Amino acid sequence: HKAYWTFKHANFDMKIAGDHRKVQLNELRDQAYENSLIYKEKTKRLHDSKIKDHVFNIDDRVLLFNSRLKIFSGKLKSRWSGPFTISHVYPYGTVELSQPDGPNFKVNGHRLKHYFGDDVPKLVVPDL
């Protein structure tokens, strides 16, 4: 009799139990949504703290990232070419580079980094 009594009172009304379960699921969904917003905010804050803001000015010396080396990678090849001199800075991150023995060309500022060294002399290989 006691088992039947407990069963009867636990599942007394299926509609009330179903509504209670729906409320619990909605609360759980709202809590998961809030947690995802908190996670997004934390990851954005971490990402933004790692980004370095590069400010390029005219006549700065820069190195250009060579994206073609990803296709033909070599362990000892440098991924950076240059140094180049900035001849013009456009809005939205576009930079025009000049080279002493060639035409000027435009690149995205994300592919550049400042060059602080001296000029590297060209290595001349004699024909044998």
The predicted-structure confidence for 9-66, as pLDDT tens digits, reads as follows 665 677 777 888 899 999 999 999 999 999 999 999 999 888 877 888 888 899 988 8
Residue count (the chain) = 128
Residue 8's domain comprises 2-50
List the one residue out of 33, 67, 61, 71 whose CA is nearest residue 120.
Answer: 61
Q: Name the β-bridge partners of 98.
A: 85
pLDDT in the model for residue 80: 83
Sequence-ordered strand ranges (E) for the chain: 61-65, 80-89, 94-98, 105-108, 112-114
| Residue 7 banded pLDDT, cuts 50, 70, 90 | low
Indicate the burial class of 112 (C-beta count within 10 angstroms; 0-12, 13-18, 19 or more).
buried
Tell which wins on pLDDT, 23 or 8.
Answer: 23
- Number of independent structural domains in the chain: 2
Residue 94 lies in a domain: yes
CB of 105 closer than 8 Å to CB of 86: no
- CA distances to 61, 64, 84, 85, 94 from 99, in Å: 10, 12, 6, 7, 17
Residue 121 lies in a domain: no
Model pLDDT for residues 91-126, shown as the tens digit of each residue:
888 999 998 888 889 998 888 988 888 765 666 667
- In terms of domains, do 74 and 35 share one? no
Residue 125 lies in a domain: no
CB of 39 closer than 8 Å to CB of 33: no
Residue 88 lies in a domain: yes
Model pLDDT for residues 51-79, shown as the tens digit of each residue:
877 888 888 899 988 877 566 666 667 78
pTM of structure: 0.52
